[in-house]
């Protein structure tokens, strides 16, 4: 699991900003919220950017496509020429730290991997300096690093991350820490309000329908919508061209995607992301389309169905700022200055279960951290 993430000189975050899952308070209630973080912040504080920075690791290791909206990388007021990313993981008793930095064109400047405090490798692409002395620690001392350093591999137009190359060119056991790391990163995801419809219509649309051809999967999706308060009966039918179409079943069949509300479509997009058992999901502007009771139901659903998944959600919905479903060390404020602080660290009061956190927030208790 992810223990801590730190980024600096990225978009509006000039200084280091971190989210630390291992830093928790001494609260006895809602222990099932410890895998969740709910982030509040005024408009334009960088909540979306923070999510994109966090998911950058998946982009790096899996070569995901980046669209034009992510074209600006380096902080505009900085004199430094790279954005820096640090990921700290815990897999069983092993601690893994992966660091790298990118130039404005997104090419790698450097890359480092540590396991339990020992350096596995260090790559300084800018100065062409490489240290692979620690590969024996992960039983990869026989890997042919000269092949990686070959000019054919080291394309001037694109620097291939050594970690990505190492995984793809080495046989590791299934319980290897690196295999666990790669599998975790593969299952990371991000959901933003602006792209809910895009994901449905362009990326996951057909695959989702293929999955729903299984009656068990279709029933699970229907049960999910009903649990969220959307009473419906779903039917999947195969069209003459072999494609499938989803319908609401009423007195007659009603096409699902052309008639469903924006809230239902947002739930559908969310369901598509979480049904595959993700490792971490960043949900930007969570509850933007949901009534506060539905938003509470979703959080309870996450806790019950996906206890091993880490959820990071941003929101403006202060109804969720409550100890009824969360706790002060899981609720954060992202400031316009680029700081991310837990509510329990934003006041001199000792926050207890009975405190009305929403009322304190609205009254200005935490205003100096916004």
Where does the pLDDT of residue 68 fall: very low under 50, low under 70, confident under 90, or very high at 90 and above? very low
Q: Give the count of domains, the chain.
A: 2
CATH of the domain at 255: 3.40.50
Kindly report the average pLDDT of the chain as a whole number. 90
In a domain, 45, yes or no: no
pLDDT for 176: 94
Q: Give bridge partners of residue 91 from the DSSP assignment.
A: 94
> Dmax of the chain from CA atoms?
70
Where does the pLDDT of residue 46 fall: very low under 50, low under 70, confident under 90, or very high at 90 and above? very high
Q: What percent of the chain has pLDDT over 90?
A: 74
Average the pLDDT over each of 54-58, 262-266, 353-357 and give the range with the smallest value. Answer: 262-266
Task: Report whether 192 contacts 111 (CB < 8 A).
Answer: no
Residues 129 and 240 in one domain: no
Where does the pLDDT of residue 195 fall: very low under 50, low under 70, confident under 90, or very high at 90 and above? very low
Where does the pLDDT of residue 200 fall: very low under 50, low under 70, confident under 90, or very high at 90 and above? very low
Residues 202 and 177 in one domain: no
The last residue of one of the domains, among 187, 211, 233, is: 187
* Cα–Cα distance for residue pair 221/275, rounded to 1 Å: 9
Residues 229 and 291 in one domain: yes
Residues 103 and 145 in one domain: yes
The last residue of one of the domains, among 142, 161, 187, is: 187
Domain that holds residue 288: 190-369
Where does the pLDDT of residue 345 fall: very low under 50, low under 70, confident under 90, or very high at 90 and above? very high
Phi, psi of 2 (to 5 degrees): -75, 125
Task: Report whether 178 contacts 167 (CB < 8 A).
Answer: yes
The last residue of one of the domains, among 158, 187, 216, is: 187
* Separation of CA 91 from chain center: 18
Residues 219 and 360 in one domain: yes
Task: Report whether 32 contacts 307 (CB < 8 A).
Answer: yes
Residues 229 and 105 in one domain: no
Q: pLDDT of 223-277, one tens digit each?
A: 999 999 999 999 999 888 878 889 999 999 999 988 998 889 888 888 988 888 8
Where does the pLDDT of residue 157 fall: very low under 50, low under 70, confident under 90, or very high at 90 and above? low
Residues 218 and 157 in one domain: no
Where does the pLDDT of residue 155 fall: very low under 50, low under 70, confident under 90, or very high at 90 and above? low
């Amino acid at each position: 699991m992810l223990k801590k993430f730190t980024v600096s000189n990225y978009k509006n975050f000039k200084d280091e900003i971190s989210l630390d899952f291992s830093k928790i308070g001494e609260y006895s209630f809602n222990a099932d919220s410890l895998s969740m973080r709910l982030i509040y912040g005024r408009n334009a504080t960088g909540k979306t950017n923070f999510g994109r920075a966090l998911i950058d690791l998946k982009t790096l290791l899996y070569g995901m496509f980046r669209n034009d909206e992510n074209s600006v990388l380096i902080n505009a007021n900085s004199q430094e020429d790279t954005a820096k990313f640090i990921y700290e993981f815990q897999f069983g008793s092993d601690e893994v730290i992966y660091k790298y930095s990118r130039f404005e064109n997104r090419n790698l400047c450097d890359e480092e991997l540590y396991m339990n405090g020992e350096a596995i490798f260090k790559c300084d692409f800018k100065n062409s300096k490489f240290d692979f002395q620690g590969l024996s620690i992960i039983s990869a001392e026989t890997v042919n690093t000269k092949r990686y350093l070959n000019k054919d591999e080291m394309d001037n137009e694109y620097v291939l991350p050594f970690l990505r190359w190492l995984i793809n060119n080495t046989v590791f056991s299934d319980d290897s820490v690196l295999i666990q790391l790669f599998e975790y990163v593969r299952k990371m995801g991000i959901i933003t309000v602006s792209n809910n419809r895009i994901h449905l219509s362009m990326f996951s649309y057909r695959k989702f329908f293929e999955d729903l051809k299984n009656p068990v999967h279709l029933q699970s999706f229907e049960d999910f919508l009903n649990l969220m308060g959307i009473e419906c009966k779903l039917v999947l039918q195969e069209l003459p061209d072999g494609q499938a179409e989803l319908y609401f079943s009423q007195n007659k069949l009603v096409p699902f995607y052309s008639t469903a509300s924006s809230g239902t479509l947002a739930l559908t997009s969310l369901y598509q992301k979480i049904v595959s058992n993700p490792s971490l999901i960043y949900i930007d502007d969570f509850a933007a389309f949901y009534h506060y009771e539905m938003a509470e139901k979703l959080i309870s659903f996450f806790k019950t169905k996906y206890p091993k998944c880490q959820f990071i959600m941003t929101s403006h919905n202060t109804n969720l700022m409550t100890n009824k479903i969360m706790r002060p060390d899981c609720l954060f404020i992202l400031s316009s200055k680029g700081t991310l602080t837990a509510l329990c660290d934003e006041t001199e009061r000792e926050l207890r279960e009975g405190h009305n956190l929403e009322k304190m927030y609205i009254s200005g208790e935490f205003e100096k951290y916004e």
